Amino acid sequence: MNKDLNNEKELLGYIRSGDSDSFKLLYKKMFPVVLNYIKQNGGSEEQARDIFQDAMVVFYRKLQDDTFELTCKIQTFLYSVSRNLWLNELKSRIVIAPQEEIKDSSEEDIEVEDNDVRGRVAILNASLQNLGEPCATILKYYYVENLSMQEISKRMSYTNAENAKNQKYKCLVRLKKLFFKNASDLISLEN
Amino acid sequence: MNEKRFSELAEKYFDGSLSQNERELFDLIVSSNDEYRALFAQYQELFDTFTHIRIKNSIGNVLNETNSQRKSIESKPRSNQFLLIYRQISQYSAAAVIALLVVVGTLYITGYFSIKKEQVSSYTQLKNNLIDISKLQTSIINSFNNGTRKIENYASGTCFPVSTNGYFVTSLHLVRNFENAYVSSAKDTTRFSARIILKDSLHDIAIIKVVDTLFQSFKSVPFIIKHADINIGEYVFTLGYSKNDVVFNDGTVSSSTGYMDDSTAYQLSIPANPGNSGGPILNNKGEVVGILLAKNLNSDNATYALKSNYIYDLVQNLTSDTLEAPVVVKKQQVRSSDKVQMIKQIQPFIFKLEVY
């Protein structure tokens, strides 16, 4: 199996198909630039890694959309997304504002819509925590770990998959309420 | 629709496991009502956020692997971790998933006349007319809505009676875009005109009634519609018009869910060809346990059939909805333990359906 991951077009295909090696390569080749940027703007290495992984998810999911067309280099795209995500992060945490003006070495700037994905993930995690058990676990098993209802009912000792499914539905409705309440609370705080 | 059902559908919509019919219907429902629209947007946002977390976890795992297993990477075959999470990625990715992993085709013949005219080998022609889901889902919907209508003026499949007085069940995708439907059997060249009585777009089935005065009611119909699920591993067979004569095929129930975990369908290891659409799936007692929907073009032995419960329900609706009550089959007539005998009794009740 000969993979030419240096070829941008081929690499793109591998990323699209979820190939592990291609993700490792992306990380190896493109993370240092992002790390540098985030460190310069008041972030830690750990934060940079987290941001970069989010950017990879955004990229991967964009590639699943057939109408999406990459108009720049992969590197540029990932850098732009990471940068946007980090700027959002800084905006939302007024306390930890960068000491200096934001340094920006990028020449190209790509508009990437990420729908404040980090904000949503944070709210979702907080909502799951508020939700308590067994809801948090059942929802995580199903939506994050992708376990089947059968498997979940076994692990959480429900009598059958149908019961687990009903429970999951009730939890989902509660989560939805909390999620959107928390989200609107946050927005009103910002104002 | 209650919210539970709505949330289930929204979830399936999001992960791409709705059939094109269901998808269409759900689009309609959502766009018809502001409350539904808002609710749908909320579920989308939730599922989307969960999806982000899930993919991020997978990527995280892959990257951690880099540190601990750097040495073994070269020798190891490519580990396609992400293929595992394809199941529920998003509505966009769903189309890509389909293109990547699986192609499903509906099973009805089209363009019969044009073949005859041009004297082309019908074999390739039939193949060409299988609808290919590897194209974007939107294009499928279009091909069902507009495309088919423009291009095709003929299609054929299979249907079977649910009553003694002329009510038949078949696939909705077979009849929906055509104005005239004719029912005929292999034994008899007479074709009886029929019209659509009831549609179930969600499950892709329709009930048609033969309105032809020449049609005489059956004395009895040999099979009932079973109102219970069957188990995986059970023997099943089908009879259908993949050519002008009835063709028998058999196999087993391979999975109690259909294409992309659709719980309304079975996956069967029955060979099926264009023309089998709308054909009954029968068990070893000769009871109808399902109706053929589609086959997986990328997998040799995966055919999908709607569970008979949904046919049963539709027939129940029929009895309360129509003026002229159908005489629904209530008693299983076939009892022969000999397979060949049983098929002999059932075969005259499997009909060809042609639409224009």
Reported ipTM? 0.85
A116's torsion region: left (phi>0), alpha (psi -120 to 50) or beta?
Answer: left
CB-based contact, A53 to chain B, within 8 Å: yes
Domain boundary among B63, B82, B101: B101
Task: Please check whether residues B214 and B202 belong to one and the same domain.
Answer: yes
Average pLDDT on B248-265 reads 87
Write out chain A residues lying below 8 Å of B42, CB-based: 176, 180
Domain boundary among B70, B101, B132: B101
Q: Is A57 on the interface with B (CB under 8 A)?
A: yes
Inter-chain touch B80–A17, beta carbons under 8 Å: yes
B211 and B262, same structural domain? Answer: yes
Tell me, yes or no, whether B156 and B94 share the same domain.
no
In terms of pLDDT, which residue wins out, B164 or B306? B306
Which residues of chain A are in CATH 1.10.1740 domains?
8-92
CATH topology of domain A8-92: Rna Polymerase Sigma Factor; Chain: A (1.10.1740)
- Say if B80 is an interface residue toward chain A (CB within 8 Å): yes
Phi, psi of B136 (to 5 degrees): -60, 150
Are B299 and B319 part of one and the same domain? Answer: yes
Alpha helices by DSSP H, B16-33: 20-31
Provide CATH 1.10.10 ranges for chain A: 117-190
CA–CA dist B130, B241 (Å, integer): 16
> Is the domain of B53 the same as that of B129?
no
Determine whether domain A117-190 maps to CATH 1.10.10.
yes
- State how far residue A24 is from chain B, nearest Cα, in angstroms: 6
User: What's the domain count of chain B?
Assistant: 2
Co-location of B109 and B183 in the same domain: yes
CA torsion, ordered B43, B49, B52, B53, to nearest 10 deg: -120
- For residue B94, the enclosing domain spans 3-101
pLDDT at B281: 95
Examine the domain organization and report whether B146 and B266 are in the same domain.
Answer: yes
Taking alpha carbons only, the member of B97, B6, B5, B19 closest to residue B51 is B97
- pLDDT, one tens digit per residue, over B25-47 is 888 888 888 888 888 888 988 99
Does A69 lie at the interface with B, CB-CB under 8 angstroms? no
Are B72 and B160 found together in one domain?
Answer: no
pLDDT band per the 50, 70, 90 thresholds, residue A113: low
Q: Say if residue B177 is in the same domain as residue B130.
A: yes
* Confidence band, pLDDT 50/70/90 cuts, at residue B300: low
Which DSSP helix (H) or strand (E) runs through B168?
strand B167-171
What digits encode the pLDDT tens for the residues B122-153?
222 222 233 333 222 333 333 333 333 334 56
Nearest CA in chain A to B61: A20
Residue that terminates a domain, selected from B78, B101, B124: B101
Q: Pick the most confident of A8-17, B48-57, B110-119.
A: B48-57
Residues B271 and B150 in one domain: yes
- Nearest by CB: B42 against A1, A146, A180: A180
User: How far apart are the CA of A101 and the nearest CA of chain B, in angstroms?
Assistant: 30
